[in-house]
Amino acid sequence: MRIILLGAPGTGKGTQGKFISEEYNIPKISTGDMLRESITLETKMSQFIQSQIKKGKLVSDKIVCDLIKNRIKKKDCSNGFLLDGFPRSIEQAYYLSESKITVDYILNFVMSHEKILDRISGRRIHPQSGRIYHIKFNPPKINNIDDITGDSLVLREDDKTETIKNRLKEYEKITYPLKKYYLNQALKEKLQFLEIDAADSLINIKNKIKSILKNNR
Ligand code: AMP
């Protein structure tokens, strides 16, 4: 099963992606996570990536397409995969299409920008595991502490309000057109495009996704 999670930052793609990955035993491939990991290498390229992320700007299509190309070749993707945060531009979607990388489902997470700002500013992450919490909607058992390891949680640098606003601008300008693109593709290919009300509760979204994917286990 191959799935793409579309939608603006902060709509819960990462949280639901983790659930789908565990439930259906397919790797969750997040270009955001891969880029953040690459920053630790301290090359010239990683400095550029870090400054783009910090500004809330997208990094170049070439960089992320190369990351995806190498990741999808790995053995654990033979059963399928879930893409979280890729594609984020029409050019990246063309890359998938030209590389004959087909997908079965596009799940488009929809939420107002006002709610997104609220959601992202309360988000806390455990960087080592990728676990995501929210101070109001999905709090850890102990304030600011990861439930499993006891490590401190962090606010991502690009989850600060000014950066979020830039990320949302980038989304509207560069990523939003993918909705039209994939709606069109769904008319031509064996591909299902489904909208998820991302403002719904975590459990309702989980159940909706389960019912969408139940015939594909
Ligand atoms: P995310 O964790 O998916 O919100 O991504 C964090 C940041 O990484 C984004 O704001 C972008 O700067 C960069 N990024 C992640 N995925 C992509 C992509 N597919 N194309 C371009 N930039 C990306």
The pLDDT tens digits for 57-101 are 999 999 999 999 999 999 999 999 999 999 999 999 999 999 999
Listed residue (5, 7, 4, 16) closest to 132, CA to CA: 16
pLDDT tier, 216 (very low <50, low <70, confident <90, very high otherwise): low
pLDDT tier, 8 (very low <50, low <70, confident <90, very high otherwise): very high
What pLDDT score does 217 carry?
A: 52
Say if residues 104 and 189 touch (Cβ distance below 8 Å): no
Question: Picking from 10-14, 32-36, 38-42, 108-112, which range would have the lowest pLDDT averaged per residue?
Answer: 38-42
Of 16, 31, 101, the one to substitute when testing ligand 1's pocket (max ligand atoms within 8 A of C-beta) is 31
pLDDT tier, 215 (very low <50, low <70, confident <90, very high otherwise): low
Which atom of ligand 1 is least distant from the CA of 36? 8
What pLDDT score does 43 carry?
A: 84
Q: What is the mean pLDDT of residues 117-129?
A: 90
Q: How far is the CA of 36 from the centre of ligand 1 (A)?
A: 9
What pLDDT score does 171 carry?
A: 96
Token digits of residue 6: 């579309």
Listed residue (199, 189, 196) closest to 212, CA to CA: 196
Say if residues 82 and 3 touch (Cβ distance below 8 Å): yes
- Residue 192: pLDDT above 70? yes
Please state, in angstroms and as integers, the Cα–Cα distance from residue 217 to each residue in 22, 69, 103, 212, following that order.
12, 25, 15, 11
Listed residue (71, 2, 5) closest to 34, CA to CA: 71
Token digits of residue 209: 């996704």
When the pLDDT of each residue in the chain is averaged and rounded to a whole number, the result is 93
Q: What is the mean pLDDT of residues 93-122?
A: 94
Q: How far is the CA of 215 from the centre of ligand 1 (A)?
A: 31
The string over 127-141, giving b where at least 16 C-beta atoms fall within 10 Å of a residue's C-beta and e elsewhere, is eeeebbbbeeeeebe
Pairwise CA distance, residues 157 & 164, whole Å: 10
pLDDT tier, 1 (very low <50, low <70, confident <90, very high otherwise): very high
Q: Is the dihedral of CA 195, 129, 217, 81 positive or negative?
A: positive
> Which pairing describes strands 2-7 and 192-197: parallel, antiparallel, or unpaired?
unpaired
Q: How far is the CA of 128 from the centre of ligand 1 (A)?
A: 18
Of 33, 59, 95, the one to substitute when testing ligand 1's pocket (max ligand atoms within 8 A of C-beta) is 59
Residues serving a catalytic function are 13, 88, 123, 156, 167
Tens digits of residue pLDDT in 19-43: 999 999 999 999 999 999 888 887 8
What pLDDT score does 190 carry?
A: 87
Q: What's the first-to-final CA gap in the chain, in angstroms?
A: 8
Q: What's the pTM?
A: 0.89
